[in-house]
Amino acid sequence: MAIKIKKILVPLDGSANSFRGLDVAIHMARESHATVTGLYVIGIVKPRTNEPITPLEKILLEHAQKIMKKAKLKAAQKGILFFDRISYGDDGKRIVEVAEKHDFDLIVIGSRGMGAVKEIFLGSTSNYVLHKSKKPILVVK
């Protein structure tokens, strides 16, 4: 049974591995005429809309926007429609929730991100997503 891929979710954290995942997703999107959505999860509780943004929140949001801009440019250079999404909370849980809620066909995730875990281990976020998501997952090393 072939899976028709139209929407690909790529979690991004700025690491080389997450951008390798983006490269694979872009290639797959070209082959299947799919769109790619980059998801950056800021690991803090979402700020309330009626409260001023803190300096830390501002720095984290600017970092996320910088990564999304780089990813969008990379996708555009290959002719791929790229959507960016910035979310707050626990990264693994948010990736799984977004994939389910917005009915993505595939999650393409780097084997490990910015964490301190070394090469022989699967990163904690990718490990969580691999075991908790009901969506197909491609782990890119």
Complete domains list, the chain, with CATH: 7-140 (3.40.50.620)
Q: Which residue from 116, 115, 114 is spatially nearest to 16, judged by alpha carbons?
A: 114
What's the pLDDT at 116?
Answer: 46
Look up the pTM and report it: 0.89
pLDDT at 120: 45
pLDDT of the chain, 141 residues: tens digit per residue: 466 899 999 999 999 999 999 999 999 999 999 999 999 999 888 777 777 888 989 999 999 999 999 999 999 999 999 999 999 999 999 999 999 999 999 999 998 655 444 444 456 888 899 999 999 999 998
Q: What pLDDT does residue 123 have?
A: 67
Q: Tokens 């001023």 correspond to what residue? A: 52
